[in-house]
Amino acid sequence: MNDISQRVSSHFSEQFGAKPLLVRAPGRINLIGEHTDYNNGFVLPAAVDHAIFFAIGKSEDAARCSLISLDFDERYDFDLAEIEPLAADSWQNYILGVVAEIQQSGREVAGFNLVFSGNVPRGSGMSSSAALECGTCVGLNELFGLDIPKVEMVKMSQMAEHNYAGVKCGIMDQFASMMGARDQALLLDCQSLEYRHFPIELNDYSLLLCNSNVTHSLASTEYNVRRQQCEAGVSILQKKFSNVSSLRDVRMEQLELVSEQLEEVVYRRCKYVIEENLRVHEFTAALTQSDLEKAGKILKSAQQAMRDEYEITCPEIDFMADFANAHADVLGARMMGGGFGGCTLNLIKKGREAAFITVLNEAYENQFTKEITPIQVNISDGVSLIKG
């Protein structure tokens, strides 16, 4: 056990007088493919070694549950028969939503106690929310012997975010947290849910995350707006092309044929998604061919498209990405995650990380009077039980 899992285990035993089941649920990075998942497209995420750790056990009261967040220093008690969403942005919603989804599937959950803590930076685009959902789902599945298939747990976790957190997310984050594998990314088709583990071999380069330490409150609302804009484009495209069920089915030449019928902003949103799907395939091909320079160029083009076409960046992120993309040791950089803050993902020469962080942080502090937080990540396994 590491320090965090030991801490949640000890706290559970102190509070509830029993030895808990321990679960680790990782955050994730996404190498390429932003906002394509809810458009049934392609993504290339990977689970990482930053994770949330859970201690969970059965309650003495079969109808009553207690949740303790060590990071928020909060406790929440609830009755299984009276589960409802709380205020927006409440951490409890991610757990309550999972319980509700399990109940709605016809499976029975009895009273339980749960303690959790983690080191996935919130608001960084590393999807601490999906880790919280997936870890809860796996813990309850194991605790009550529910025998829920992994892919169904992924879907339950996604729907928890839809119905309780109010974010109409795609399935990528939960899929990566649940199904990740050490040193491998997941090339995932978000329509069929077919996937394959894709070895990540970066040779003389490494992946460095730089957290802007900016989290904009408009991220979740704007996320839903982007989804609505994509759906508006699909509804126009469907009138001309009978095979179109989502933007994943659309080619650029088809989009051009209906461009005059689309609002200009809807056209740009659709263009971004269609081309981002192509970038996922181009990026995986570049990695297969060990052409890291080409992979870097694809990251640069993705950053430009997120800024200009999908409009999900912010001044701080644009500054960091532009700085990195002009730096000799960086092959390519882009914003990672839902947008409006979070991290940049940098493909950087091994051994040059510390020097790059120093100069980037100095420039960033001069521009915005705040510091970045560098995050070194290793690609890890997905959700797992911890043997203690």
Written as tens digits, the pLDDT of the chain (388 aa) is: 689 999 999 999 999 999 999 999 999 999 999 999 999 999 999 999 999 999 999 999 999 999 999 999 999 999 999 999 998 889 999 999 999 999 999 999 999 999 999 999 877 778 899 999 999 999 999 999 999 999 999 999 999 999 998 888 889 999 999 999 999 999 999 999 999 998 888 999 999 999 999 876 656 688 889 999 999 999 999 999 999 999 999 999 999 999 999 999 999 999 999 999 999 999 999 999 999 999 999 999 999 999 999 999 999 999 999 999 999 999 999 999 888 888 999 999 999 999 999 999 999 999 999 999 999 888 999 999 998 6
Residue 327 is predicted with a pLDDT of: 98
Q: Which of 173, 204, 249, 291 is catalytic?
A: 173
How far apart, in whole angstroms, are the C-alpha atoms of residue 282 and residue 191? 19
Residue 388 is predicted with a pLDDT of: 65
pTM as predicted: 0.91
Contacts of 252 (CB under 8 A, 6+ apart): 271, 274, 275
How far apart, in whole angstroms, are the C-alpha atoms of residue 32 and residue 176? 13
- In the chain, CATH 3.30.230.10 sits at 3-200+380-386
Phi, psi of 111 (to 5 degrees): -60, 140
The number of CA neighbours under 13 Å toward the Cβ of 380 is 19
Strands 64-69 and 112-118: parallel
110 touches 58 (CB < 8 A): yes
Residue 218 is predicted with a pLDDT of: 57
Residue 122 is predicted with a pLDDT of: 77
Residue 152's Cβ-count burial label (10 Å; 0-12, 13-18, 19+) is middle
Closest alpha carbon to 129 in 2, 258, 215, 244: 215
How far apart, in whole angstroms, are the C-alpha atoms of residue 59 and residue 18? 10
Closest alpha carbon to 39 in 269, 243, 295: 269
Residue 276's Cβ-count burial label (10 Å; 0-12, 13-18, 19+) is buried
13 touches 36 (CB < 8 A): no
Which residue(s) pair with 373 in the sheet?
211
Contacts of 338 (CB under 8 A, 6+ apart): 34, 35, 125, 219, 220, 223, 312
Sheet holding 373-376, edge to edge: 330-336, 341-349, 205-215, 373-376
- In the chain, CATH 3.30.70.890 sits at 205-376
Indicate if the alpha-carbon torsion angle 375, 380, 384, 388 is positive or negative.
Answer: negative
Angle, CA 7 vertex, CA 371 and CA 118 arms, to 5°: 40
Phi, psi of 374 (to 5 degrees): -75, 145
Which residue(s) pair with 79 in the sheet?
64
Structure tokens at 94: 């991610």
Q: Tell me which architecture the domain covering 205-376 has in CATH.
A: 2-Layer Sandwich (3.30)
Closest alpha carbon to 158 in 276, 66, 258, 37: 37
Other CB atoms within a 10 A radius of the CB of residue 288 amount to 11
The number of CA neighbours under 13 Å toward the Cβ of 118 is 26
CATH number of 3-200+380-386: 3.30.230.10
Contacts of 117 (CB under 8 A, 6+ apart): 4, 7, 8, 52, 53, 69, 70, 71
Please tell me what DSSP assigns to residue 246: S
Question: Catalytic annotation on 49?
Answer: no
How far apart, in whole angstroms, are the C-alpha atoms of residue 176 and residue 159? 15
